[in-house]
Every structure is written in structure tokens, then in C-alpha cells.
Amino acid sequence: MGSARKKTPASPKRAARLAELEERAAERGIHLHYDLLEAAGLKLKGGLCRINGEYHFFIDRRKPVSARIEIIEDLLDRPLPEKTPDHRAPEPAAATPEACPLSPAKT
């Protein structure tokens, strides 16, 4: 059996930076989702997609705060793509990560 790793909480400075970036993303109309991005044994990279006309960005919840900050900074530094396929959620169900194709992570 492997030993369990204890998560250390993010520093207040990093937590504040992450909150600031999350707010900026929301102001641009981007919904951020922190989910376990794994399906059928495949680890998924996450990324941007459009669901019902709204932008959603999926980040693996196992990423440390420093990686989340870097990923969101990169997202906010780029213009939103015009030609992102628009996935429609089935009615009346709400959009779920399964509604957006996420590419498998390279291992």
C-alpha cells in the first residue's frame, strides 16, 4: 500500500491570486469547473468548450493551486476562439463534463 500524501493548503497569497483569476474568468463569461477528469482509466487534460452558447473551462481538481493559476492565466491571456464547437446539453438535463469532448492526457 502507498502512503497517503497530505495536502498542504495554498498560501493566502496564492489563494487570493486564484480567486482573482476566477473572478476575471467569470467577467469574461467563462465558467470554470474543477472536476476529476478521468474516465474509463484515461486521464483527461481538460480545456475549453462551449455548451449551449456559454464557455466552460474544465480543470482537473487534483491540480495544485500553482498549476491552476498558471492554466487560468494562460486561458485569460488568449482571445476566446470564435469557432469552438457548440455542444447542446440534452433537455432537460443540465450540462455535464460528458457533454464536452476532452482530449486524453499524454502519459
**Each residue's pLDDT tens digit in the chain (107 positions)?**
555 666 778 899 999 999 999 999 999 999 999 999 988 888 888 899 998 889 999 999 999 999 999 999 999 999 988 776 666 666 554 445 444 555 455 54
Question: Tell me, what's the pLDDT at 93?
Answer: 47
User: Which whole-number Å values give the CA distances from 15 to 45, 53, 68, 71, in the listed order?
Assistant: 22, 30, 10, 14
Residue 76 lies in a domain: yes
Residue 96, in any domain of the structure: no
Structurally, how many domains does the chain consist of? 1
pLDDT at 55: 94
Range of 76's domain? 12-91
DSSP 88: P
The confidence score (pLDDT) of residue 44 equals 83
Torsional sign, CA 50, 97, 103, 24: positive
